[in-house]
Amino acid sequence: MSENVAQQPIRVLNLFTIMDRGGAETMVMNYYRHIDRTKVQFDFLVHREQRGAYDDEIETLGGRIYRLCPIYPQNFARYKRDLRGFLQAHPEYKIIHSHMSELGYFAFREAEQQGVPVRICHAHNAPHGFDAKMIVRTYFKKRMMPHLTHLFMCGEESGKWLYGEKNKSRFIMLNNAIDAASYTYDLSKREELRRQLGLADELVIGHVGRFNPQKNHPFLMDIFAALLKKESNAVLLLVGGGEGMSKMQEKVQALGIAEHVRFLGVRSDVADLMQAMDMFVLPSLYEGLPVTMVEAQAAGLPCIISDKVPPECILTEGLVDVMTLSASPETWAEKILAKRAIPRTDRRAEIAAHGFDITTEAVKLQEFYLRAVQGDA
């Protein structure tokens, strides 16, 4: 009996809103696929009733998915009560790893009260600007700090934003690692994907990201409209979903560029789609450390990013140029055309050298969990 218990993997409870194909969700799934699941198994506590894009795969890999109500102000009392009941019913969880920024506060506080020894918060983003929500976010950021045992981050700016610079000595970097081999440039795969997409010799600009304000899609549409005036044989591929998609569809109609823009929705074949692209453009208003930038560079894509994207994401020599958001769409378009001639090559060695190849990084995370549950991390 005791021998069988000893052979069971430790189970890590990951907290998310919903397991759709966002950056943080994709990063965690990359790690999940590559850890030794006989030693460490992932489960998920999510806060939406509907199933997420990754739910089927999670269950196939042996993960369990639990659901609680959304963390809205009107639900706070219910959420705290249900969360307490959940943790009391599941004493097997010795590690919780929250990817919900300051909204993990309730879980951290309750987990500490229920004796969960390892309570990890993970900073995935570094918002800029100020609005009414920021007052509430700041309040919960400060309230959660005493309940945390480990402060994870994907990049320096995201760590500073969520935990404060005074806690910098406690930051633990976990790279947004990917399976670099699956993104490596492949000419035959590129030709096949372009055939599938009905593309010939067009200049294909790509973007991967949810349709939310952070990704700055309206400016991306303006950039592409300016590009078409200089290069009419161009196509923009937009990968991702979200409530903001319909507004962008209206915008491309208003700009008269709809026939050149393809809304591909949420896709599971991003690695293949990047083979078909010629350029990757990311004009975000803010980022933590975007997984899509690691993926694009692994695919050998020339990239143009905004100066609000952390420079830590630049992992390759000569592939990435940075543009200020104050520059005009026309200036961005000129930069894209100047960058298009860079040849596509195998960039795996550079990705791995910076610690972004999942095959090695997953082992590090796995060993961290095993040490942490023993009190050694």
State pLDDT tens for residues 269-309. Answer: 999 999 999 999 999 999 988 999 999 999 999 999 999 99
Residues 6 or more apart from 120 whose CB is under 8 A from it? 95, 96, 97, 98, 148, 149, 150, 151, 152
For the chain, the average pLDDT equals: 94
pLDDT at 341: 86
State pLDDT tens for residues 56-78. Answer: 999 999 999 999 999 999 999 99
pTM listed for this prediction: 0.84
Q: Is 318 in a helix, a strand, or coil?
A: coil
Reported as a pLDDT band with limits 50, 70 and 90, residue 10 is: very high
State pLDDT tens for residues 209-268. Answer: 999 999 999 999 999 999 999 999 999 999 999 999 999 999 999 999 999 999 999 998
State pLDDT tens for residues 314-347. Answer: 999 999 999 999 999 999 999 999 999 899 999 9
- Strand (E) positions, the chain? 10-15, 40-46, 65-67, 95-98, 118-123, 150-153, 171-173, 203-208, 234-239, 261-265, 279-282, 303-306, 320-323
The secondary element (H helix, E strand) that includes residue 333 is helix 329-339
- What are the CA-CA distances from residue 90 to residues 24, 79, 93, 122, 308 (Å)? 25, 16, 6, 22, 41
> Is the pLDDT reported for residue 129 higher than 90?
no
285, two tokens: 């208003």
State pLDDT tens for residues 206-215. Answer: 999 999 999 9
- Residue count (the chain): 377
Sign of CA dihedral 92, 96, 99, 103: positive
| Residue entry with tokens 């492949």 | 186
Query: How much is the CA Rg of the chain, to the nearest whole Å?
Result: 21
DSSP assignments along 138-195, one per residue:
HHHHHHHGGG-SEEEESSHHHHHHHH-GGGGGGEEE----B-HHHHS--HHHHHHHHH
Cα separation, 345 vs 279, in Å, equals 14
Closest alpha carbon to 54 in 83, 17, 101, 102: 17
Question: Is the Cβ–Cβ distance between 14 and 97 less than 8 Å?
Answer: yes
Rounded (to 5) percent helix, strand, coil in the chain: 50, 15, 35
Q: Which amino acid is at 274?
A: M
DSSP state, residue 197 = T
| Residue entry with tokens 């196939």 | 60
Closest alpha carbon to 307 in 291, 323, 289: 323
State what percent of residues in the chain have pLDDT above 90.
Answer: 91
**Residue 126: is it exposed, middle or buried by C-beta count within 10 angstroms (0-12/13-18/19+)?**
buried
Ramachandran class of 209: left when φ > 0, alpha when ψ lies in -120 to 50, beta otherwise: left
Question: Is the Cβ–Cβ distance between 42 and 62 less than 8 Å?
Answer: no
Starting at the earlier edge strand, list the strands of the sheet with 65-67: 65-67, 40-46, 10-15, 95-98, 118-123, 150-153, 171-173
